[in-house]
Amino acid sequence: MKKIVLAAALVALSSGAAHAATATGSATATIVTPIAITHASGATLDFGTFDAGTGGSVSVTQGGVGSVGGGVQFVSGNANAADAFNVTGEGTRAFNISTTSGTVSNGSATMAFTTSAPASGTLASGAASFSVGGSLTVASGQATGTYTGSYNATVVYQ
Amino acid sequence: MQQQPGPLTRSAAMSQKTTLLMAAALAGILPGQAHAAPAQASGFTQANVVIPGSIVPIDILRFGQIIQPTSAGTLTIAVASDGTVTITPAGGVTAASIGILQTGLGRGAGMFELTGTPNRQTTTTLPTSITISNGAQTMTVNNFSANTNGGGKLKLDATGHAQLLVGARLNVGANQVPGNYSGTYTITVAFQ
């Protein structure tokens, strides 16, 4: 009789232990600082001062070096510059850069331009900057004057 | 000085009472099991083949990297009964804000390995709501889901294993402070 009692007690214990188990899992999420872009104060994509001649093009590298093509000639006192942007965001994240083309105008006279920028960049301690060059198309006998215009630069996290 | 014997006597009386109660409890258990013994005699054989069920956490429930939203939103990692995992952003949390490069373990459902007697049915109980924290700020995680059928049922396979997938909904506040948030949740699995 005593043996039966012990066996019954074991049944109660072992089946109880096998019936339920608990486990603890982890849940994680990371909120990332948004990426932001600002135009560097005072910077501009400057195609410089030139004589249109029979027309052609003016190009400025991302390093700010100007060159002409076709019948266009730089004139004395010409100065070229690349544009610049500052980017802020999270840590050491990489981002993609895109820039649009645009048009500069002087009254009703216009010239079209394209832009060139690095395809991507990488933040260092949450900051980065990049430069933008471009290429301007100049018509034969392009009206003289000061032309201005704008374009957009966009950055997105990779 | 005269007050001391009082409490001492009382304490002695209490310990005596405790001893008596314990003895009574033991006596209560033994007769109860003796009564049950004849009925459970066949059950004893069954107990020999039962493998105690175990749960081992394998994968973390990862909501991944999310760009800080300007308005409140959610990111749901939903697990269907067939194990399909669906990731859905809503509100201020957009496809663009979760479309960034994921680092570390990436994004995905939590996973637990269940082990027990082959072909045994299990019933999982999920938490209702937990919070995850970066130490100062918190986010709520709720609407838990798993690859179980009605009532949380999941059957172990012929080798006595099953993978329990767990999803949930992350509630992100407007301008939620950037950082790494983490927390824990507890599941209970009844092995039937």
Report which of B56, B66, B62 is spatially closest to residue B77, judged by C-alpha positions. B62
User: Is B181–A5 a contact, with Cβ atoms under 8 angstroms apart?
Assistant: no
| B11 confidence band (pLDDT: 50, 70, 90) | very low
Q: Give the C-alpha separation, B160 to B31, whole Å.
A: 36
Q: Give the C-alpha separation, A135 to B20, whole Å.
A: 99
Report which of A93, A101, A83 is spatially closest to residue A36, judged by C-alpha positions. A93
- Compute φ and ψ for A102, nearest 5 degrees: -165, -170
A11 close to B49: Cβ distance less than 8 angstroms: no
Q: Which residues of B are less than 8 Å from A26 in CB distance? A: 57, 60-61, 110, 182-185
- Compute φ and ψ for B98, nearest 5 degrees: -110, 0
Q: Which two tokens stand for residue B17?
A: 């009472």
pLDDT in tens, B82-114: 999 999 999 999 999 999 988 778 999 999 999
- What CA–CA distances, in Å, run from A156 to A35, A98, A120, A129, B177? 7, 9, 9, 14, 20
Q: Give the C-alpha separation, A25 to B114, whole Å.
A: 13
A57 close to A129: Cβ distance less than 8 angstroms: no
Average pLDDT, chain A: 90
B58 near A CB under 8 A: no
User: Is A4–B34 a contact, with Cβ atoms under 8 angstroms apart?
Assistant: yes
| Residue A124, pLDDT above cutoff 70 | yes
User: Is B181–A29 a contact, with Cβ atoms under 8 angstroms apart?
Assistant: yes
Q: Which residues of A are less than 8 Å from B172 in CB distance? A: 29, 31
A123 close to A86: Cβ distance less than 8 angstroms: no
B110 near A CB under 8 A: yes
Q: Which two tokens stand for residue B87?
A: 């990731």
Q: Give the C-alpha separation, A65 to A5, whole Å.
A: 97
Tell me which chain A residue has its CA closest to the CA of residue B64: A29
**Strands A36-39 vs A20-32: parallel, antiparallel or unpaired:** unpaired
Global pTM exceeds 0.80:
no
pLDDT in tens, B49-76: 567 789 999 999 999 999 999 999 999 9
| B190 confidence band (pLDDT: 50, 70, 90) | very high
Tell me which chain A residue has its CA closest to the CA of residue B116: A18
pLDDT in tens, A4-20: 444 444 433 444 444 78
User: Is A29–B63 a contact, with Cβ atoms under 8 angstroms apart?
Assistant: yes
- The verdict on ipTM greater than 0.85 is no
User: In Å, how far is B9's CA from the nearest CA of chain A?
Assistant: 38
